[in-house]
Amino acid sequence: MKRVTVVVPNWNGMGVLKECLDSLMRQDTDDFEILLVDNASEDESVSFVRANYPSVRIIENKENLGFAGGVNVGIRAVTTPYVLLLNNDVEADPHFVAGLTDCIEHDPRIFSASARMINFRERDILDDCGDLYTILGWQAQRGVGQKVTDPKYFKPCKVFSACGGAAVYRMEALEKTGLFDEQHFAYLEDIDIGYRGLLYGYKNVYCPDAVVYHIGSAASGAVRYSDFKVKLSARNSVYLYYKNMPAVQRILNGPWLALGRCIKKRFFKKRGFLEAYQAGVREGFETRKTTKKVPFEWKRFFRYFYIEGLLISGLFAYSSEFMKRRFPGASKKGDK
């Protein structure tokens, strides 16, 4: 049996798949298999993969199940101890698969391990080094926009959650926590599953030895914001804390969460997406009780305190990185 299965979700990825799969063929290990899960693509990506990469197993969904539903189909088909999720718009460094698998394998308490993601076009700029979640109810890409030479991001560390675009998960742990929440469809589903991993007593880590180069929406020509993305992200942000926080914690954090929504409203109003944002928040509150909550358990009492600390420290980490991006000159002066 192979050590890990690389699951690549795909939807109309003809323009990026070759780069991704070629990089997987150049890995310095062969102790893995590749599974492409296609979400009813309308382009020729499936036939392209079938003709050019005969070793890649393919599952074709009859409809677009989103990221969460698509990767769940792949995870259910996995027989290896670990599953590695990889966006189709990345180029993987030759040591990526081995580095990420070695990282999760050495400690049974690790739920997921996140790769070092670098901007594909600007390779001196980081894209993601594990994800943050804050007391404001905001998700953030740790390290985004920072220099790849920053020594901080060469160090392995715990993170709130792995970025599902390039991360490995322990199959045994997923059997306990459940898979990705398909009600999310897309956006924040990786924060949600990472949160559950924490509640179940696991930890999520960042592995700087595993490197990928991420194209992402900006470099691929897609818009950074859209009504669809803003609405789903806003809705899922409500699902995220409602499902995972016990009632007392939601009440205590209520003012902070409200402040976070107010700031977001102002942000999206300036960019012309206020209506989409408000519609998403409204839908989130109206349908929150249809989500599958993580039940409160007294044995998790200290985990709730621990996670609350992560939410607070996440806000400080986000603020620090935001200031470094906004005022790069000031941070350079401060380093002297």
In a domain, 186, yes or no: yes
In a domain, 126, yes or no: yes
Question: From residue 7, how far is each of 83, 166, 213, 326 by CA, in Å?
Answer: 7, 10, 17, 36
Same domain assignment for residues 151 and 248? no
Per-residue pLDDT, averaged over 258-265, amounts to 98
Q: Which residues contact 107 (CB under 8 A, 6 or more apart)?
A: none
Same domain assignment for residues 147 and 241? no
Question: From residue 10, how far is each of 47, 68, 164 by CA, in Å?
Answer: 13, 12, 14
Same domain assignment for residues 55 and 199? yes
**pLDDT higher than 70, residue 35:** yes
| Bridge-based pairing state of the strands 110-119 and 166-170 | antiparallel
Crossing angle of helices 301-326 and 189-199, in 10° steps, is 140
201 torsion bin: left (phi>0), alpha (psi -120 to 50), beta (else): left
List, for residues 4-15, the tens digit of each pLDDT value: 999 999 999 999
List, for residues 55-113, the tens digit of each pLDDT value: 999 999 999 999 999 999 999 999 999 999 999 999 999 999 999 999 999 999 999 99
Same domain assignment for residues 211 and 236? no
Same domain assignment for residues 188 and 245? no
In a domain, 316, yes or no: yes
Work out the pLDDT band at 222, boundaries 50, 70, 90: low
In a domain, 286, yes or no: yes
pLDDT score for 225: 86
In a domain, 334, yes or no: no
Same domain assignment for residues 166 and 63? yes
Q: Report d(CA 153, CA 150) in Å as an integer.
A: 6
Range list of H helices, 185-226: 189-199, 216-219
Same domain assignment for residues 75 and 39? yes
Same domain assignment for residues 191 and 235? no
Same domain assignment for residues 208 and 245? no
CB 192 within 8 A of CB 177: no
Residue 135's CB is within 10 A of a number of other CB atoms, namely 22
Supply the DSSP string of 243-307, one letter for each residue.
HHS-HHHHHHHHHHHHHHHHHHHHHHHHTT-HHHHHHHHHHHHHHGGGS-PPPP-GGGHHHHHHH
Would the pTM count as exceeding 0.85?
A: yes
List, for residues 277-334, the tens digit of each pLDDT value: 999 999 999 999 999 999 999 999 999 999 999 999 999 999 999 999 888 765 555 4
Range of the domain at 29: 4-219
Residue tagged 């404001």 (tokens): 136
Same domain assignment for residues 215 and 231? no
Mean pLDDT estimate for the chain: 95
Domain boundary among 219, 236, 251: 219
Same domain assignment for residues 110 and 236? no
Same domain assignment for residues 297 and 154? no
In a domain, 336, yes or no: no
Question: From residue 63, how far is each of 11, 48, 88, 180 by CA, in Å?
Answer: 10, 19, 18, 18
Q: Report d(CA 264, CA 61) in Å as an integer.
A: 35
In a domain, 89, yes or no: yes
Tell me the one-letter amino acid at 265: K
CATH of the domain at 25: 3.90.550.10
Domain boundary among 219, 248, 278: 219
Domain boundary among 164, 185, 219: 219
In a domain, 335, yes or no: no
The tally of domains found in the chain comes to 2
List, for residues 159-175, the tens digit of each pLDDT value: 999 999 999 999 999 99
